[in-house]
Copies of this chain bind each other. A is one copy, B any other.
Amino acid sequence: MKSKATSFDIAYQAGVSQSTVSRALRDSPLVNQETRDKVKAIARELNYKVDKNASNLRQQQSRTLALLLFEDPTTDDSLINPFFLSMLGSITRASAQAGYDLLVSFQNMSDDWHADFEDTNKADGIILLGYGDFDDYRDKLTQLEEQQTHFVRWGAIDENHPGVSIGCDNFQGGFDITQHLIDLRRKQFAFIGGADSHAPEFLARYQGYCKALEENGKAGDSVCQISAISTEESGYSAASDLIKSGDKVDAIVCASDLIAIGVMQAFKDSGVEVPDEVSIVGYDNIPASRFTNPPLTTVAQNTILAGELLVKSLLELISNEEVEPQLMPVEIVVRKSSVIM
C-alpha cells in the first residue's frame, strides 16, 4: 500500500500491458489516445513516478550534469570564489529547464573526474568552474579529453587548451578598464595579479592592460606588474610591497575584485586616499564590490548568460554536436574607486 507504485501496478489497473503503460507515459505516438489518457489518469492517481535508476540504467544515460567547483582559498566559509557562486544560480536554473539534474561537487574530492562521474553513469557531462594552477589543471583537461568525457569549462579561450571553453573577453576587459583610467588622466599605472601561464585569464587581462598603455604612448616604464593570486590577502601584500618600494602610482588595475579589495585596504592603511591619490579597479563585479569603501569600479561578466551557455554547450556536446568555444563581451562598471569627484 504504502510502497511505491510501479508501471505494473498501473498496467493492472488500466487493464493493459506494462509496455503500453511505459509508452503512454512517454507520449509515444504508438499509443491510442484513449489508452494514453487512461494510463496517465491512473498514474496521477497512484502518484506514480518513473524510477530514475531503472529508466537511466535501461537507457544508459543519467540526465544529470555534474558541476565541479574549485575549492578556493576564500576568507569566508563558502570555500567558493564569489564570482563562481553568482554563476551557480543560472547553471542550476538552466539545467533544470533542460530537464537535467545538477550534481554539485568539489574538484578535489576526486582524482579522476571522468571515472567518478561519467563512468559511473552518475552524470552525462561535466561543467568545470575554477582551478588552482592552470599548468596542473591542463593535464586533467587533457586526460578528460582522452577519455572522451563530455565537459565544458569556464575560462580563457585558447586553441591549445584542451576541451571546450566558454569565457569572457579578458583581453578586451583589461583593455577597456585601463582605457577608462587613461581617460581619467591617470599617469602611472600598475597591474596587480599573476600574468603568466599559471593563470591565463589574468594574463589576457594583463595583455589588454599593456595594449591600452601602448596605444596611449605609455608603454615601457609604466608597465609595472606585481603578481598576486585571487585573494584579498594576496592583494594586500602585493600592494604593501608596491607602497614600500616608493614607486609612485596613481592607477592600479587588479586582476580580480578580491585582489582589488585587498589592495584598497593596503592603501587606506598607509593613509593614501582612494580615489583621490590613486584609482583602483577590479574585475568580476562580485556582490561585495558594490559595498566597498569607496565602491569598486570593475569589469562585469554576464553570469546569467555564462551559466546558460555552459549548460547549452555541454548538452550539445552530449548529443555529439560540434561545439565552438564562445567568447562573451564584457562591460565596465564605473563606481567611485576610480573617479575623482
Contact = CB atoms under 8 A, between A and B. Distances in A.
Nearest to A51: B121
A98 to B, nearest CB: 12
A297 B51 CA distance: 49
A170 interface: no
Given A57-B51, A119-B49, A291-B292, A80 B76 contact: no
A105 B88 contact: no
A284 to B, nearest CB: 12
A340 interface: no
Interface in A66-88: 67, 69, 71, 75-80, 82, 85-88
A185 interface: no
Contacts of A119: 4, 47, 49
A244 interface: no
Contact of A86 (B78, B92, B101, B106): B78
Contacts of A303: 77-78
Nearest to A66: B101
B104 A104 contact: yes
A101 B96 contact: no
Interface magnitude class on chain A: 35 or more
Copies of the polypeptide in the assembly: 2
Nearest to A304: B77
A109 interface: yes
A101 B116 CA distance: 11
Interface in A46-72: 47, 49-54, 56-57, 62, 64, 67, 69, 71
A328 interface: no
Contacts of A54: 53, 57
A16 interface: no
Nearest to A147: B47
Interface of A: 2, 4, 47, 49-54, 56-57, 62, 64, 67, 69, 71, 75-80, 82, 85-90, 92-93, 96, 101-106, 109, 115-116, 119-122, 148, 261, 287-288, 290-294, 303-304
9 contacts: A49-B115, A52-B62, A77-B86, A79-B90, A80-B89, A82-B287, A96-B106, A288-B288, A293-B293
